[in-house]
């Protein structure tokens, strides 16, 4: 079984991330400019935290991003290459974002997920995210609704998350 590790996303990761972005989100992929803007805020004390998941050959097989401003956190993106879905990478990436939001003092963590992405919704529910609303036509140009989910009262000891959600 392949082993994966997480590391901070850097500018040289944008091209492999874009390749995955277009494969996984063909209708509503982010642009290179969006990733450059996000990474411009991913410095110590900045409002963003981005990581890539890499395999043993250092190939990017997943990525995730967090925005944290004050007590508010938002999962900006999370993605896992099709061939590696079901291997625990989504759990690893989401755990990293939740732990980082705890380190940054966020009281809640929000995210949007396509209403038709049931696999991702199940992952978020396992971590305690609950639906709080719908954003009509959020994903463009496909005009797909987004389910807004929230995780409240983030654990003061994020290590509890790993134990609780590895099942």
Positions marked catalytic: 112, 124
Pair of tokens at residue 101: 């939001």
Contacts of 95 (CB under 8 A, 6+ apart): 127, 161, 162, 165
- Among the listed residues 96, 125, 101, 98, the one whose alpha carbon sits nearest the alpha carbon of residue 113: 125
Identify the three-state secondary structure at position 120. helix
The answer to whether the beta carbons of residues 91 and 123 sit under 8 Å apart is: yes
């Amino acid at each position: 079984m392949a082993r994966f590790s997480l590391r901070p996303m850097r500018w040289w990761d944008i091209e492999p991330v874009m390749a995955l972005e277009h494969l996984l989100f063909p209708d509503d992929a982010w642009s290179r400019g969006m990733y450059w803007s996000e990474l411009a805020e991913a410095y110590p004390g900045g409002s963003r935290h981005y990581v890539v998941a890499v395999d043993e050959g250092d190939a990017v097989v997943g990525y995730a991003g967090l925005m944290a401003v004050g007590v508010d956190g938002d999962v900006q993106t999370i993605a896992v290459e099709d061939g590696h879905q079901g291997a625990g990478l989504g759990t690893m990436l989401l755990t990293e974002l939740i732990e980082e939001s705890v380190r940054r003092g966020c009281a809640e963590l929000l995210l949007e997920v396509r209403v038709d992405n049931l696999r991702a919704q199940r992952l978020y529910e396992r971590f305690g995210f609950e639906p709080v609303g719908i954003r009509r036509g959020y994903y463009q140009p496909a005009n797909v609704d987004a389910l807004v989910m929230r995780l409240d009262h983030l654990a003061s000891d994020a290590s509890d998350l790993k134990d609780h959600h590895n099942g």
